[in-house]
A and B are shown apart, each in its own frame.
Chain A
Amino acid sequence: MAAKKRAPKAPAAPKAAPAKDAPKPALDAVDAATLRKIEGLAKVALRSVEKGDNPALSIRTRALSNVSFNPKRRIIELGDRRQSREFFNTSMAKKFMQTFLVARGCKSLIEEQKTVSIRQMFYLSKHTLRGSQENTFDEQSESDPIIEDLEVGIDALREELHLFANRRGLVVGRLVVNDAGDEIDLSRMGRGGWGIPSICEEKDLKFTRCDAEFILLVEKQAIFHRLNEDRLWEKHKCILMTSEGQAARGARRLLQRMATELKLPIYVLVDNDPWGLYIYSVLKQGSINLAYESMRMAVPNVRFLGMSSVDHKHFTLPKAVEIKLSKDDVARANQMKKYPWFADKKWQKEIDDLLRAGFKMELDGLLTKGISFITEEYIPKKIRDRTYLV
């Protein structure tokens, strides 16, 4: 490559770039389209700099100020406000450069038909600038937003860029899937459950067979294990999932696909605190940062099973489960009350109940009523009584 010839010592030579004469694997339509998008980005920049203009990338702003709640579709959508990322601007020059480094890395991945994690992409794009001590990237926290910028900038999904984040989330239950050609019966996953892949697109993951009647997603891995050990999914004919905290893209995408393809009701069980409520909220209508992905990830019909502040009374829980709300909790709750997607009366009441009670509760607190209380009484009763919110 030209760069190698011109500056043999320069670390600028792309690590991920394939040798020019290497045979290129045949690309499918999606990959070819993504490549064209990346090339388009570079062409526009080159054309404007050749005219003596300031090359710029137009990227939709990913901030609260540029998202809105679409009440009809019941999801958070990214607005049309764009920011122009210019090269000849001291505060943007570096990000402009970084965007092209990541774009080049993605191009190489597509051409070589490989997939790397976003951390690996950080290393692929990181090197020291020629004649300087400065690095193209210093930390992954710099490259992650650049990747998201690129997704928005060329309107390509992360999967289409051949990138994935660390996988997170587990699933078991009455479902058989085909993952990259392997048939996996999720009712035969033992104690550990099946790790949800980072990428859950139709291309790789297909639902083969399902006799579940509903899906239950719990926030916490420990509760997932409790319910799995009690074989909840067997008894109640369901699919049991955990997001292990805030849901990653893989879990969200899988949940949405199950919702639309299997057409099953989905219940979500989170801690009784503002953070738990927000996990539910992201599953339901999307997040601010990934508002451009809401269409593919949000599940507006997902049902909030608990925990509610009222559960304390309904299930006569002991005082021992109460944890005093911290200042942060109260601040977060009040902040969430203002989000348009929590504007509905029932959500306002739910948050108000929490604030009025002055304490929060963990799902694990239900064990004060017995080790399998959650499996045998709490969940069945809530579903039976339909005391959930949507």
Chain B
Amino acid sequence: MQPAQASVDSTPASSQLPKKPARRATAESMATKQREISVSEFFTKNRHLLGFDNPAKALLTTVKEAVDNSLDACEEAGILPELLVDIKEVQKDRFRVVIEDNGPGIVKAQMPKIFAKLLYGSKFHRLKQSRGQQGIGISAAGLYAQLTTGKAVTITSKIGKGRPAVQIELRIDTKRNQPDVVSETTVPWDREHGTRVELELVAAYRGGRTGVDAYLEQTVVANPHLGLTYDPPRGERVVYPRASNELPREAQEIKPHPHGVELGMLQMMLSDAEGKTVKEVLAADFSRVSGNVAEKICKDAGVSPKTPAGEVRGDDLDRLYKALGEVKLMAPPASCVVPIGEELLITGLRRRFPDAEFVASSTRPPSVYRGNPFVVEVGLAYGGSMSAEEPADVMRFANRVPLQYQPKACAISESVYDTNWRSYEVAQPKGSLPIGPLAIVVHLASVWVPFTSEAKEAVAHYDDLLREMRLAVQECGRKLGSYLRARERAASDQKRLGIFQRYIPEVAQAIADILAVDAEGVEGAFLRALPNFAKVALVEATEEEEPPRAASMLPPADDGDSARPPPPAKAAPAKAAPAKAAPAKAAPSKPTSNTSKPNQPTKPKKKGRG
């Protein structure tokens, strides 16, 4: 608005406007420009929604989507995943990314659609815990690659022994949201089955919390059954041998629970049920709804159970929806949620932090928010080569997928901030993360994880979720607290013992001199009395073996297997058992491995001389 006009008078602004504008277009002329927007086109312009906002994030998202898909496929097929991630900088800011798995493979006919059609997938239509969901990720990566380098995506897949390995090059027709097969050949491949995705994209390789390296390190923690070989763009190959031969239990697919359903969803379910009554739809398509319960819901809603499902609309639909939300029901079956498990979480942490002094985990019983079952579990590793001055390393996971961005916005972080770590003997400045050689894993497993945005970077703050997270963090924190307190006690026992051991020879000698008797005899008497006043037996336990070393970050020698660190695939589960016992029973004896032996008393602090 022009300031001059505003100051003229107070008559309505419209009367001040110049005369009506001339028509610029007609409905007909506009209609010629109106056409469907393809999904691919939309995402070309809105790539940030899918995690391709900048080159560094694009690289992470690409690796992440491919790895998630591979792991989901392997687990669904019942195969222990063995992955290769290879990233090369082919020229400045341009990277070739290869992700190869030993999964079930993809039948030839499906390959183009899976990798080059957005919103195509097997996981969207069902309520089942999995890493990926929408079927956007990997094709979006292909799309991004194509947009930035013009190069097609190369997919190689083999579905079984004796079958040919099919290799195709794919482009996405962004206008039609359709794949274009550029070439298709058969290639020799020594894998029995598996899929290999190869893309070239403009990207940036960064370290730190949001980098690819951090993503893979964290993935290794949450997936002890994964064997991973990683060739980073810089530096040497990193091998994480499989730490557990136990595949996660297969998640059960479930029907929606009435408490979690939304109005639109209910409407769709009813209208889709051709020829069924309301009662039948409720009883058949919802979890935990029996015939009796369905009848009660109808009665509460004032809708006849015999009404044809498709005819429920308007006020009836609203009342039915309300009744569904209020009816008392059993929680949905927890079988659809698969946590990592306390033991395997410890195994995963040991592989990532082989020199950690203490590792613990807690898996909460299943709980429910808005009709969705979920499980929270927390693991932590303490000590070793982690820095004692830095804030704790908090690793957030949703369905085993690391969340690396937006820690501040995430309910998981809040649960860690909110916990009073000082009561577990860990320093914590007010309102911030605990400080110490500590890594904390928080995993949320659920059929439907509520993210704050489509980029799936942070978990939304639902009270039910937060409460469970806090309880899990506290439960695990208590284990750390009792370990640290036991360690403290042992250290002071050790100190106590050291004092007596240091002074006994002196006292014994003096007494012997005064009484003109043999000093050794007097010393012997003191040493015999010593166990009555200090824990001597405890010190003998220092001979305990080193904590199990499940993993190695050491790169193998150039020619592969021979120089690889001993694959702990078989040994790991056996070693996992004592590791699990550590938090509860073995804790007090553990720390003694750091303290000195009986014949080497701790050095006293040298007192200043006057």
A and B held together in a complex: yes
Give me the interface of A with B, judged by CB distance under 8 Å.
1-3, 6, 10, 12-14, 17, 20, 38-39, 41-43, 45-46, 49-50, 52-54, 87-88, 90, 93-94, 96-97, 100-101, 103-104, 107, 129-136, 138-139, 141
Taking a contact as CB atoms under 8 Å apart, the answer to whether A12 and B515 are in contact is no
**With A50-B525, A104-B513, A132-B601 given, can you name 6 additional A-B contacts, CB distance below 8 Å?**
A6-B519, A13-B509, A87-B507, A90-B496, A96-B503, A107-B514
Cβ of B607 within 8 Å of any chain A Cβ, yes or no, is: yes
- Give Cα distance in the complex from A87 to B526, angstroms: 10
Taking a contact as CB atoms under 8 Å apart, the answer to whether A132 and B507 are in contact is no
Residues of A close to B262: CB separation below 8 A:
none
Taking a contact as CB atoms under 8 Å apart, the answer to whether A42 and B503 are in contact is no
Question: What does DSSP make chain B's interface, helix, strand, loop or mixed?
Answer: helix
CB contacts under 8 Å to A, within B479-534, are: 495-496, 499-500, 502-503, 505-507, 509-516, 518-520, 522, 525-526, 528-530, 532-534
Q: Which of B496, B500, B505, B530 contacts A130 (CB 8 A)?
A: B505
Residues of B close to A131: CB separation below 8 A:
502, 601
Residues of B close to A96: CB separation below 8 A:
503, 507
Closest to A50 in B: B525
- Give Cα distance in the complex from A47 to B604, angstroms: 29
Taking a contact as CB atoms under 8 Å apart, the answer to whether A88 and B507 are in contact is no
Pick 26 A–B contacts, CB within 8 A, sort by A: A6-B520, A10-B505, A14-B509, A20-B516, A39-B515, A42-B515, A46-B515, A49-B526, A52-B532, A87-B507, A88-B529, A88-B534, A96-B503, A101-B510, A103-B514, A104-B510, A129-B502, A129-B506, A131-B502, A132-B604, A133-B603, A134-B606, A135-B607, A135-B609, A136-B506, A141-B610
Minimum CB–CB distance from B177 to chain A (whole Å) comes to 77
- Give Cα distance in the complex from A20 to B512, angstroms: 12
- Give Cα distance in the complex from A50 to B523, angstroms: 10
Taking a contact as CB atoms under 8 Å apart, the answer to whether B496 and A49 are in contact is no
Residues 532-555 of B, flagged 1 when their CB comes within 8 A of A and 0 if not, give 111000000000000000000000
Minimum CB–CB distance from B582 to chain A (whole Å) comes to 29
Contact of A1 with B520 at beta-carbon distance under 8 Å, contacts A133-B606, A136-B506 already known: no
- Give Cα distance in the complex from A107 to B526, angstroms: 22
Chain A CB within 10 Å, residue with most, of B495, B505, B513, B518: B513
Taking a contact as CB atoms under 8 Å apart, the answer to whether B525 and A97 are in contact is no
Residues of B close to A93: CB separation below 8 A:
499-500, 503
- Give Cα distance in the complex from A6 to B520, angstroms: 9
Residues of A close to B511: CB separation below 8 A:
42, 45-46, 100
Taking a contact as CB atoms under 8 Å apart, the answer to whether A43 and B526 are in contact is no
Contact of A39 with B512 at beta-carbon distance under 8 Å, contacts A2-B520, A134-B604 already known: no
Chain A CB within 10 Å, residue with most, of B496, B499, B511, B522: B511
CB contacts under 8 Å to A, within B123-147, are: none
Q: Which of B528, B533, B607 contacts A54 (CB 8 A)?
A: B533
Residues of A close to B496: CB separation below 8 A:
90
Contact-residue bracket for chain B: 35 or more
- Give Cα distance in the complex from A100 to B506, angstroms: 9
Chain B CB within 10 Å, residue with most, of A49, A54, A93, A103: A49
CB contacts under 8 Å to A, within B458-474, are: none
Residues of B close to A129: CB separation below 8 A:
502-503, 506
Residues of B close to A20: CB separation below 8 A:
516
Residues 227-269 of B, flagged 1 when their CB comes within 8 A of A and 0 if not, give 0000000000000000000000000000000000000000000
- Give Cα distance in the complex from A13 to B608, angstroms: 24
Residues 156-184 of B, flagged 1 when their CB comes within 8 A of A and 0 if not, give 00000000000000000000000000000
Give me the interface of B with A, judged by CB distance under 8 Å.
495-496, 499-500, 502-503, 505-507, 509-516, 518-520, 522, 525-526, 528-530, 532-534, 601, 603-604, 606-610
Residues of A close to B610: CB separation below 8 A:
138-139, 141
Closest to B522 in A: A46
Contact of A90 with B499 at beta-carbon distance under 8 Å, contacts A6-B520, A139-B609 already known: yes
Taking a contact as CB atoms under 8 Å apart, the answer to whether B609 and A97 are in contact is no
Contact of A138 with B514 at beta-carbon distance under 8 Å, contacts A53-B529, A132-B603 already known: no
Residues of A close to B510: CB separation below 8 A:
14, 42, 97, 100-101, 103-104
Residues of A close to B520: CB separation below 8 A:
2, 6
Residues of A close to B525: CB separation below 8 A:
46, 49-50
Residues of B close to A90: CB separation below 8 A:
495-496, 499
Residues of A close to B515: CB separation below 8 A:
39, 42-43, 46
Minimum CB–CB distance from A183 to chain B (whole Å) comes to 39
Contact of A101 with B506 at beta-carbon distance under 8 Å, contacts A42-B515, A54-B533, A141-B610 already known: yes
Contact of A133 with B518 at beta-carbon distance under 8 Å, contacts A87-B507, A97-B506 already known: no
Taking a contact as CB atoms under 8 Å apart, the answer to whether A138 and B607 are in contact is yes
Closest to A94 in B: B503
In the complex, the 9 A-B pairs of residues with the closest C-beta atoms, listed nearest first: A88-B533, A100-B510, A42-B514, A139-B610, A2-B519, A104-B510, A97-B503, A42-B511, A134-B604
- Give Cα distance in the complex from A6 to B603, angstroms: 23
Q: Which of B500, B502, B522 contacts A132 (CB 8 A)?
A: B502
Closest to B606 in A: A133
Closest to A18 in B: B513
Taking a contact as CB atoms under 8 Å apart, the answer to whether B607 and A134 are in contact is yes
Residues of B close to A87: CB separation below 8 A:
500, 503, 507, 526
Minimum CB–CB distance from B523 to chain A (whole Å) comes to 9
Minimum CB–CB distance from A84 to chain B (whole Å) comes to 14
Residues of A close to B514: CB separation below 8 A:
38-39, 41-42, 100, 103-104, 107
Taking a contact as CB atoms under 8 Å apart, the answer to whether B502 and A3 are in contact is no
Contact of A88 with B500 at beta-carbon distance under 8 Å, contacts A49-B525, A138-B607, A138-B609 already known: yes
- Give Cα distance in the complex from A356 to B515, angstroms: 60
Residues of A close to B607: CB separation below 8 A:
134-135, 138
Taking a contact as CB atoms under 8 Å apart, the answer to whether A100 and B507 are in contact is yes
Q: Which of B502, B518, B534 contacts A134 (CB 8 A)?
A: B502
- Give Cα distance in the complex from A100 to B512, angstroms: 10
- Give Cα distance in the complex from A355 to B362, angstroms: 71
Taking a contact as CB atoms under 8 Å apart, the answer to whether A3 and B519 are in contact is yes
Contact of A52 with B529 at beta-carbon distance under 8 Å, contacts A6-B519, A42-B514 already known: yes
Residues of A close to B495: CB separation below 8 A:
90
Closest to A54 in B: B533
Taking a contact as CB atoms under 8 Å apart, the answer to whether A12 and B513 are in contact is no
- Give Cα distance in the complex from A76 to B495, angstroms: 41
Minimum CB–CB distance from B532 to chain A (whole Å) comes to 5
- Give Cα distance in the complex from A41 to B528, angstroms: 20
- Give Cα distance in the complex from A101 to B522, angstroms: 15
Taking a contact as CB atoms under 8 Å apart, the answer to whether A1 and B513 are in contact is yes
Residues of B close to A100: CB separation below 8 A:
506-507, 510-511, 514
Residues of A close to B512: CB separation below 8 A:
2-3
- Give Cα distance in the complex from A136 to B520, angstroms: 20
Residues of B close to A17: CB separation below 8 A:
513
Minimum CB–CB distance from B44 to chain A (whole Å) comes to 72
Closest to A102 in B: B510
- Give Cα distance in the complex from A38 to B518, angstroms: 17
Residues of B close to A38: CB separation below 8 A:
514
